[in-house]
Amino acid sequence: MSQTPKRGLGRGFEALISNDFDKSLLLTPEDRIEKIPVGQLQASPYQPRKHFDETALSELAASIKRHGVVQPLVVTPVKDGVYTLIAGERRWRAALLAGLATVPAIIRSSKELEQLELALIENVQRVDLSPLEQAVSIERLHEQFSLSYDTIAKRLGKATSTVHNIVRLLGLPEAAREALIAGKISEGHARSILALKGDSERQTYLLKTIIVQGWSVRQAERFVLSVKAGASSAKQAHERVHTETPATKKLSKKLGTPVGIRRTARGGKLEISFKSDDELERIIGLFD
């Protein structure tokens, strides 16, 4: 039996996405770093991030006062000595707070940026990419090239909702990301875990249950619905995943056919199985 070749994901999620997009994408060892006056820089009008945390900026400014801007910004020339920021607006804003006169930057031409952007678009469209790898590439397009998710979706030929759902995978807890990379859970399972965002205890419980008990995506979805319906504990939510109860067993025996319960956010549905139209007529007749 042939083994499936490894795809370089053995080091886990940090091997897939670095903490620093600039270094991994826009900067190379051969790039020449230049000192550019802070007054000659302007934010990109397409920057998707509109809010910068003031406290975090102040902390970064204090660090810059002590150590300077460690990592260069990436800019592209506009006209009359003015440059538009491609990456590093947060560092630029902090440098202004710190009172720096210049910042280190690497100048990229519009053509170079277009080539980088096209390479990322092509990368997202590769059929062998995992969901998390797609999410990383899309987020790079969003952050580094100031592209909205709607614009990215159009360039990829996907629905905007699809792009949002892919990127949401980056919000998975670390253990769930690792499980998705390792193939221990599916993308459908991951979405169920994401649906419990903010409830780390139940997210952890659901992940472990999926892996240990081999829950299907549908079972994971039922667990989430039970939680959202007000189950007081993970154990109670777990119990409500089961489609068979003493009551359904009793009804199944009386009707002579399997009966199950499907939980929803508000109550649930009673499901009575039948194999043919004749059997359906027989079951209906029992209620006359």
Whether the Cβ atoms of residue 93 and residue 52 lie closer than 8 Å to each other: yes
- Rounded to 5°, the CA angle 67-71-75 comes to 130
- Write down the catalytic residue from 54, 89, 114, 117: 89
Residue 246's alpha-carbon distances to 262, 263, 267, in angstroms, are 15, 16, 17
Q: How many angstroms separate the CA atoms of 184 and 137, rounded?
A: 22
Best CA proximity match to 90, nearest among 63, 111, 121? 63
- Alpha-carbon distance of 94 to 60, in angstroms, equals 6
* Assigned token pair, 224: 């989430």
Q: Show the CA angle centred on residue 232, arms to residues 227 and 233, nearest 5°.
A: 80
Question: In this structure, what token pair is assigned to residue 68?
Answer: 């300077």
Q: How far apart are CA 267 and CA 165, in angstroms?
A: 27
Distances from the Cα of 272 to the Cα of 45, 240, 255, angstroms = 58, 18, 9
- Active-site residue flag, 89: yes
Please give the structure tokens belonging to residue 154: 């159009």
Task: Give the active site residues.
Answer: 89
